Amino acid sequence: METHAADFCKYLKDRRIFRINKENGEVTMYNKIYSAIKNAVDNGDAAGVNTLIIQNGKEKAYCEYGLRDIGNCLPITRDTIFRLYSQTKPVTSAAVMLLVSQGKIDLSAWLSDYIPEFDNMYINTNGEKIPCQNHITVKDLMNMTSGIPYPGEWCESVKQSGEIFWKIDQRLYSDSPVSTAEFASMMSGVDLCFEPGTEFMYGASADILGALIEHVSSMSFRDFLIKNFFEPLEMNDTDFYVPKEKSYRLAKVYDYSENGLTEVKTNHLGLRYERDVIPLFQSGGAGLCSTLDDYAKFGLMLLNNGEYNGRRIMPPQAVKFMTTSGITTEQSLQLISGWQWLSGYSYGNLMRICKDESLTSLFSSNGEYGWDGWLGTFFSNEPAHGITMLVGVQQVGVGKSGSLTRKIKNIVMSELA
């Protein structure tokens, strides 16, 4: 269904959910956030958006406006489920860090020590295959310095990656879909874009980590996350699929068109649009679905040095390492060249890390970390101020919703920092 934001259900015109403590500062912040969200939805920048702000374990604001399903006029609500896409990566990072803390993964070890198919890799330069001098390490996967690319068209290696993801898509609805381990094996045949460890490039490294976790733990990636994170954190709405009884809560995905916002039922990065079955390919880089409240529990656990509600989930040292930059200054420039708004940031363990708040283009403090997703979901922890911020939205390629997220973060930091 195609529609303009102005055509949304009339009852949404001034719909507000006011679930905050009515202290003057919090009311002011809520009003500012609500206004920003409402303007974005009314302007057609997003179908619906919700935001959750927590400071020092206390909810400061929850705002929602717009629709999760335009065609059926269903509003975005606090229990709306979102496809996280790359916001999956911090969870994958935490899983690796937990196994490192247990002595089951060595970050300096070669990836081929765990998955032998990655033993003899090649770099592809202008169509010429050259044997790698360096081995991919686990740390390279965590810092996106492996040279393993996402799909694209700009060089031979990314084209090869695209062929792998195309093959996954061809088998998505078959009787033999690709598994996490098979995906890693298939990607081992893709040429690297550079010598491992020498450059930063955002790619499919986190998906390989999912296979590594399976190998080390002798469990499916999904079962490992359920046992070690989702069950102890009571993240009951977080998974690689959405069961039938919850499917009505899964937000639709929208893209911009000359006719307004249009639902886009797209399979992307080897993931089914519907999320209606437990996938064999449990993508560590993009596969999870969740709600704001569920993901907030994960964020609060990290802010509390690995503990949640008196239960130890991760050792403090593992959290400290996980939230520390892992790339060089030169590699940080490569990060910023891809995302100019990340000026002042570095990268490490599948997350952005604020290194110099004087250089950022939004209000952040040194040590802020988190990541966002292809459809606009956003996660931020500000350890210096005890703030966890989450944004839920489902717009292809982030687009205008990325600007909205930065506006919300600036409001939050102005009121609470």
CA-nearest of 341, 343, 385, 389 to 365 is 385
Q: Output the DSSP codes for 339-368.
A: -GGGTTEEEETTEEEE--GGG-SS---TT-
Q: What's the chain's Rg over C-alpha atoms?
A: 21
pLDDT tier for residue 15 given thresholds of 50, 70 and 90? very low
pTM here? 0.94
Asked if residue 215 lies in contact with residue 114, where contact means CB atoms within 8 angstroms, the answer is yes
Please determine, for residue 104, whether its predicted confidence score (pLDDT) is greater than 70.
Answer: yes
Cα–Cα distances in angstroms (integers) from residue 15 to residues 67, 96, 393, 404, in the given order:
11, 42, 17, 19
Token duo for residue 97: 């860090």
Please determine, for residue 2, whether its predicted confidence score (pLDDT) is greater than 60.
Answer: no
Q: Which residues contact 161 (CB under 8 A, 6 or more apart)?
A: 148, 149, 150, 151, 152, 187, 190, 203, 204
Give dist(CA 106, CA 168) in Å, integer.
30
pLDDT digits (tens, 9 = 90+) for 28-57: 999 999 999 999 999 999 999 999 999 999
Give dist(CA 198, CA 79) in Å, integer.
43
Tell me what the mean pLDDT of segment 99-119 comes to.
98
CA-nearest of 202, 158, 198 to 335 is 202
Give dist(CA 360, CA 345) in Å, integer.
7
Please determine, for residue 392, whether its predicted confidence score (pLDDT) is greater than 70.
Answer: yes
pLDDT at 25: 61
Token duo for residue 342: 């990340």
Strand-pair partners of 260 = 257
Token duo for residue 344: 């002042």
Residue with tokens 């206004």: 35
Q: Which residues contact 231 (CB under 8 A, 6 or more apart)?
A: none
pLDDT digits (tens, 9 = 90+) for 247-280: 999 999 999 999 899 999 999 999 999 999 999 9
pLDDT tier for residue 219 given thresholds of 50, 70 and 90? very high
Residue with tokens 């996938």: 279
Please determine, for residue 8, whether its predicted confidence score (pLDDT) is greater than 70.
Answer: no
Percent of the chain whose predicted confidence (pLDDT) is above 90: 90
